[in-house]
């Protein structure tokens, strides 16, 4: 079963800037390309950092402010205050950049974005050179897969060869990405693992099981003996 990778959904050939790109040119590029961030690359197209609209906002937030460090001022605020005097991408960017390769899974990209609080990632090759950008919106493209494609993955690739599952005894229905499983399996313990495998299929929104089992081999919860 083929799994979608970052390269399948990313924007190829992302707009980038150099470390010496002036402040106003960055603003022009953000506006012209309707994006909120740009990767900053060196002379070899290796990603050195990312500059975002949030980095530029410090110029407005701290305009005319003095440079004195306030008591209890957070590290983030101090950094933002420093960027208020920046005039080029190298002074504004966040570095090192969080990047991902085109061969990474969509799940890996989603985990990195969530952990780092990012909405987009520069996509790099094995040498760290920029090849594209991937956004949260790009990752959602996997849910544009048709129900027919999902059903084909289930019946032709997921069910065959799974221990305790006889494909002829099962039926799957897919409606708007929601998979409904009907039929019978050999053992009840097979059902949770089967559901997890189907949940990992690209484009699946949810799995609803109406499966029954010939043998109930699920472990029973411990019940303490009743004392009289």
Q: Phi and psi at residue 147, in whole multiples of 5°?
A: -60, -35
Q: Is 222 among the domain residues?
A: no
pLDDT of amino acid 219? 67
Instruction: Enter the pTM of the model.
Output: 0.78
Q: Are residues 135 and 192 in the same domain?
A: no
Q: Would strands 170-175 and 178-187 be described as parallel, antiparallel, or unpaired? A: antiparallel
Q: Are residues 183 and 157 in the same domain?
A: yes
pLDDT of amino acid 74? 64
Q: Is 58 exposed, middle or buried (0-12, 13-18, 19+ CB in 10 A)?
A: buried
Q: Is 224 among the domain residues?
A: no
How many Cα atoms are found within 13 Å in the side-chain-facing hemisphere of 33? 18
Q: Is 106 among the domain residues?
A: yes
SS3 5: strand
Q: Are residues 13 and 110 in the same domain?
A: yes
Q: Are residues 49 and 70 in the same domain?
A: yes
Range of the domain at 13: 6-142
Domain holding 190: CATH number? 3.30.70.1350
Q: Are residues 112 and 157 in the same domain?
A: no
pLDDT of amino acid 65? 65
Last residue of a domain, one of 85, 110, 142: 142
Q: Is 194 among the domain residues?
A: yes
Query: DSSP string of 183-216?
Result: EEEEETTHHHHHHHHHHTSTT--EEEEEEEEEE-
The set of residues, in sequence order, having a beta carbon less than 8 Å from that of 215 and lying 6+ positions away, is 186, 187, 188
Averages of pLDDT over runs of 10 residues in the chain (228 residues) are 87 94 97 94 96 90 65 65 85 94 96 94 96 96 96 92 88 97 93 94 96 81 66
Q: Are residues 154 and 180 in the same domain?
A: yes
Number of neighbours of residue 89 by Cβ within 10 angstroms: 26
């Amino acid at each position: 079963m083929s799994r979608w990778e970052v390269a399948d959904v990313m924007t190829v050939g992302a707009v980038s800037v150099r470390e010496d790109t002036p402040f106003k040119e960055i603003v022009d590029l953000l506006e012209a390309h309707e994006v909120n961030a740009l990767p900053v690359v060196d002379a070899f197209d290796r990603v050195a950092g990312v500059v975002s609209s949030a980095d530029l906002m410090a110029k407005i937030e701290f305009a005319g402010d003095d440079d004195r460090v306030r008591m209890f001022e957070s590290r983030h605020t101090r950094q933002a205050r420093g960027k208020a005097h920046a005039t080029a991408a190298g002074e504004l960017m966040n570095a090192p950049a969080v990047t991902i390769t085109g061969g990474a899974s969509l799940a890996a990209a989603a985990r990195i974005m969530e952990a780092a609080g990012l909405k987009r990632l520069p996509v790099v090759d094995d040498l760290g050179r920029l090849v594209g950008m991937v956004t949260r919106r790009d990752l959602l493209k996997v849910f544009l897969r048709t129900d027919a494609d999902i059903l084909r993955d289930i019946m032709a690739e997921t069910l065959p060869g799974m221990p305790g599952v006889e494909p002829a005894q099962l039926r799957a229905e897919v409606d708007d990405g929601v998979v409904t499983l009907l039929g019978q399996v050999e053992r009840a313990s097979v059902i949770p693992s089967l559901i997890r495998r189907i949940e990992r299929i690209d484009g699946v929104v949810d799995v609803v099981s109406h499966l029954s089992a010939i043998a109930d081999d699920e472990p029973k919860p411990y019940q303490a003996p009743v004392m009289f």
